[in-house]
Homo-oligomer: A and B are copies of this chain.
Amino acid sequence: MSENLVMSVIDRNKERYLEEVMELLRIPSISALTQHRGDMRACAEWLRDRLLAIGLQRAEVMGTAGHPVVYGEWMHPEPGRLTVLVYGHYDVQPVDPVELWDSPPFEPQVREGRLYARGAADDKGQVHMHMAAVHALLSQGGELPVNLKFLIEGEEEMGSENLDEFIAANREMLACDAAVISDTSFFAAGVPSITYGLRGLTYMQIDVAGPSSDLHSGSFGGAVMNPAEAVARIITRLKDEHGRITVPGFYDEVRELTEREREEFRRLPFDETEYAESLGVPELWGEEGYSTLERVWTRPTLEVNGIWGGFAGEGSKTVIPAEAHAKISCRLAPYQDPDEIASLVEAHVQEVCPPGVRARVVRMHGGKPALVPLDHPVMGAASRAVERGFGKPPVFIREGGSIPVVATFDALLGVPTVLMGVGLPDENAHAPNEWLLLENYYNGIRSAAALYEELGCL
């Protein structure tokens, strides 16, 4: 189908798509609350029915140990075509405090160009963009430029507990060449963005044990190493005063940014002073030699997530604690391995543990980083698709957190993932008055259709 044709079909069907997405948003699919189990099922069935209605050859509600998964596919009879997997989720966050909503969370309303409803941005509204794109492409009696599969889960807001097992058990069904997710945000309003990198994570607990019971600091102060002091000493030996992690081997697999990447980040509208003010800190701080965006998006970190030991009540208690603890975690740059980093940290903790106490490192959990290099063909296709959808080229950004399913797609399906969301930073995704900019929703449908076309040309 010619570019002009599909875009004009989308334009003609704007009202219809809006009505349809509002229908989807009316289903209170809150995965975390058991009283909504029926709504979850109803939402999955609505999606299945709708996937069939827009022309998919197969669509099913498939069981898991938790809420069901919706799967659908459109496969060209001729082999050899590129296959694209669209992932999204139909479950939403709870709505409390519901009294802070200006309109009821499950009664979608358009106000000032925004579509207000729980799930509008995260993620039912964005899932629906892809369904509308498929409708536009197939409704003219045509075919899709790629093989397309939909994987829409119902437990993303609960940590996707059963997803990895589902994907592992259905690898063949889900086999593809690339995955697409629209569940991320623009860098800022009016700045279409493609997220091409995510940090990984490895999380540990450090337990330091000293005397067999708490000691009176008067009678024993000066005789033994204090575990709370020891845990502080250990933490201080993990990172230097320039923000550089001092664990030997820590940076071995970390690659420097390309000049193009640094240039992309430098061009973004980012005000360090405003950012510091919004966080409430007197100044920003981090690894020397990198900008703030480079640090939070691309550089590995080591953070203390919690620390405790001894007396924390009101007043004073003159005690040498028997033990002290810290939760620490590293955000990982692409190519770092969570298990290897945990081993390095563990060895270093033992190395720097002061005399007179014993340290133990307990591994909690981890997740791999993800990166699709900017010169990867799918990135070029995504960039052109966003430009066609929004009328301007996207910026390429990364995210400091993780989207675990991206690492799962990489590990279990061996494919890169394009993160092409159209949310905005202040969309209230997990708060009252969640909204999606209608303009982004429509242009998101255009981008999705364009993406299938661009990928079909690779």
Residues on A facing B (Cβ under 8 Å): 199, 201, 203, 210-213, 215-226, 228-229, 231-233, 235-236, 239, 241, 243, 275, 279-287, 292, 295-296, 299, 301, 303-312, 315-321, 324-327, 329, 331, 354-358, 364-365, 399-402
Contacts and interface: CB of A to CB of B under 8 A. Distances in A.
B315 A212 contact: no
A225 B303 contact: no
Q: In this complex, which of A220, A231, A329, A402 has the most chain B Cβ atoms within 10 angstroms of its Cβ?
A: A220
B401 A287 contact: no
Please name the 3 residue pairs, one residue from A and one from B, whose CB atoms are nearest each other, closest first: A218-B401, A212-B280, A285-B356
Contacts of A243: 222
Given A232-B304, A401-B216, A310 B327 contact: yes
Nearest to A317: B305
Contacts of A354: 241, 285
A231 B232 contact: yes
A307 B228 contact: yes
Contact of A286 (B224, B285, B357): B224
Contacts of A319: 305-306
Contacts of A215: 279
Nearest to A319: B305
B285 A312 contact: no
A25 B223 CA distance: 36
Nearest to A210: B281
Nearest to A330: B221
B307 A308 contact: yes
A279 B241 contact: no
Nearest to A198: B218
B316 A327 contact: yes
Contact of A223 (B216, B223, B233, B279): B279
A68 to B, nearest CB: 27
A287 B203 contact: no
Contacts of A199: 218
B212 A279 contact: yes
A310 B306 contact: yes
A76 B365 CA distance: 79
A286 B222 contact: yes
A233 B231 contact: no
Nearest to A327: B311
Contacts of A331: 217-218, 221-222
A303 B221 contact: yes
A239 B228 CA distance: 13
B201 A306 contact: no
B223 A304 contact: no
A223 B232 CA distance: 21
Contacts of A310: 304-307, 327
Contact of A364 (B220, B228, B316, B326): B316
A356 B357 CA distance: 31
17 contacts: A216-B401, A217-B329, A217-B331, A222-B243, A224-B284, A228-B307, A228-B326, A232-B233, A232-B236, A303-B320, A304-B310, A305-B319, A307-B307, A310-B327, A312-B327, A316-B329, A318-B401
A249 to B, nearest CB: 20
Contacts of A233: 232, 235-236, 241
Given A217-B329, A307-B309, A308-B308, A285 B224 contact: yes
A365 B317 CA distance: 11
A325 B233 CA distance: 15
A257 to B, nearest CB: 14
Contacts of A399: 218-219
Contacts of A239: 229
